[in-house]
């Protein structure tokens, strides 16, 4: 009797993956938010993004034994349930760090240019210094910012040197940028007390998860704050339109949507699944860069004035185009994400 082939369910929006697993398995593609328990009745593994909530409601009674999420975030996965059921979960840690770093600095220099804000000598406070926050830290230092860092898990593991308490960071930074994972310690952390500690005119950036911010608290704080930049929102894809109208840059959760970030995310998912099932030819899989103009580029910003840096960053990532497209029709949140034209990454020494 012929042995049954492995069956894999793949979120149809995961890029660069069609045709990759077909020589080794039966593959089904479906929009992530539409995947149901019935769809998984004979599925062994999944490759997903954040729109598929993996919990008992979806997985109970299915043969799924491996989940790869092509994202750094894992708050859409019920880890205690998966562990209880013996389901292995792998994410793509750090895959979009370069893309988010590009977003942060394009946005920061972009709003500073529009609002005539001088960044020379500014302190930038980074809340969460993992893969993304670490990249932001390195670039901020190379651009001459004074950097304050808050990361309680890292501080507990590595000691206090190089880190500071959150209150100190908020009270002493001219820019605060959020790069925390979403968990019970970070959900709603940006509340009235959080914003009250920030200096008047502070620039606030959230490109982590929308749920770390209490929307009503941010609205109350905006008259005191400087420019506010939001890429992530509570209740995505249905967002608070009033809040969107109040912020300076609004984008539909695309900060990490660089070409290289998507390559990295898909590569991590394919490799982890391949190793689990023994698809040896895919152990070192990496999507090919099809167009030369999408290869990453190094930017030399040493010695340049703030205006010159802003111009170079906007040329390489014109972030206000993403802001404009989103404001034109916020109801198209999911469509804008799914059909996003991935931008090439730039890196800065």
Q: Are 120 and 308 in contact (CB under 8 A)?
A: no
d(C-alpha 150, C-alpha 141), whole Å: 16
Q: Which CATH superfamily is domain 6-91 in?
A: NAD(P)-binding Rossmann-like Domain (3.40.50.720)
d(C-alpha 50, C-alpha 62), whole Å: 20
209 is catalytic: yes
Q: What is the overall mean pLDDT for the chain?
A: 95
∠ Cα 329 334 339 (to 5°): 90
253 is catalytic: yes
Active-site residue among 51, 135, 253, 271? 253
Residue 95 has what pLDDT? 93
Active-site residue among 37, 236, 327, 334? 236
Q: What is the pTM of this model?
A: 0.90
How is domain 97-255+300-348 classified at the CATH fold level? Answer: Rossmann fold (3.40.50)
Three-state DSSP at 7 gives: strand
Mean pLDDT of 334-344: 92
Residue 2 has what pLDDT? 54
d(C-alpha 198, C-alpha 204), whole Å: 9
d(C-alpha 155, C-alpha 136), whole Å: 18
Three-state DSSP at 66 gives: strand
Q: Residue 9 forms beta bridges with which residues?
A: 28, 46
H helices within the chain, ranges in order? 56-59, 79-85, 97-115, 131-142, 152-158, 166-172, 192-196, 215-221, 241-246, 259-277, 306-316, 319-328, 333-338
Q: What are phi and psi of 147, to 5 degrees?
A: -110, 130
236 is catalytic: yes
Q: Are 9 and 66 in contact (CB under 8 A)?
A: no
Q: Quickly state the pLDDT bin for 317 (edges 50, 70, 90).
A: very high
The domain segmentation of the chain, as residue ranges, is 6-91, 97-255+300-348
Three-state DSSP at 48 gives: strand
Tens digit of each residue's pLDDT (9 = 90 or more) over 245-287: 999 999 999 999 999 999 999 999 999 999 999 999 999 999 9
Instruction: Find the distance separating the first CA and the last CA of the chain, reported in whole Å.
Output: 59
Dump the DSSP string for 260-289: HHHHHHHHHHHHHHHHHHT-GGGTT-----
Question: Is there a common fold for 6-91 and 97-255+300-348?
Answer: yes
pLDDT at 293 over 90: no
d(C-alpha 266, C-alpha 285), whole Å: 9
d(C-alpha 268, C-alpha 247), whole Å: 34
pLDDT at 216 over 60: yes
Active-site residue among 209, 271, 343, 344? 209
∠ Cα 90 35 17 (to 5°): 55
Residue 73 has what pLDDT? 85
Mean pLDDT of 176-191: 96
Residue 181: DSSP 8-state: P
């Amino acid at each position: 009797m012929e042995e049954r082939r492995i069956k894999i369910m793949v979120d149809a929006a995961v890029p660069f993956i069609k045709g990759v697993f077909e020589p080794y398995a039966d593959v089904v593609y479906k929009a992530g938010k539409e995947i149901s328990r019935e769809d998984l009745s004979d599925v062994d593994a999944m490759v997903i993004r954040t729109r598929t909530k993996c919990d008992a409601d979806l997985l109970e009674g299915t043969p799924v034994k491996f989940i790869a999420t092509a994202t750094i975030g894992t708050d859409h996965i019920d880890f205690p349930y998966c562990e209880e059921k013996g389901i292995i979960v792998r994410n793509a840690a750090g895959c979009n760090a370069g893309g988010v770093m590009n977003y942060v600095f394009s946005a920061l220099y972009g709003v500073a240019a529009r609002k005539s804000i001088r960044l020379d000598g500014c302190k930038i406070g980074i809340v969460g210094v993992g893969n993304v926050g670490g990249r932001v830290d390195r670039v901020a230092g190379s651009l001459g910012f004074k950097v304050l860092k808050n990361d309680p898990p890292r501080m507990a593991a590595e000691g206090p040197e190089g880190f500071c308490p959150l209150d100190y960071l908020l009270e002493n930074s001219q820019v605060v940028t959020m790069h925390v994972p979403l968990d019970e310690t970070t959900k709603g952390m940006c509340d009235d007390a959080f914003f009250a500690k920030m200096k008047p005119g502070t620039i606030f950036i959230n490109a982590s998860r929308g749920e770390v911010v209490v929307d009503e608290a941010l609205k109350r704080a905006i008259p005191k704050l400087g420019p506010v930049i939001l890429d992530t929102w509570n209740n995505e894809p249905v967002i608070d339109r009033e809040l969107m109208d109040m912020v300076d840059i609004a984008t539909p959760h695309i900060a990490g949507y660089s070409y290289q970030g998507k390559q990295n995310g898909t590569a991590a998912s394919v490799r982890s699944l391949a190793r689990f099932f023994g698809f040896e030819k895919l152990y070192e899989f990496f999507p090919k860069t099809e167009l030369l103009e999408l290869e990453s580029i190094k930017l030399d910003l040493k010695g340049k004035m703030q205006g010159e840096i802003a111009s170079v960053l906007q040329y390489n990532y014109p972030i206000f185009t993403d802001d404009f497209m989103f404001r034109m029709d916020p109801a198209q949140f999911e469509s804008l994400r799914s059909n996003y034209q991935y931008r090439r990454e730039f890196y800065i020494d």
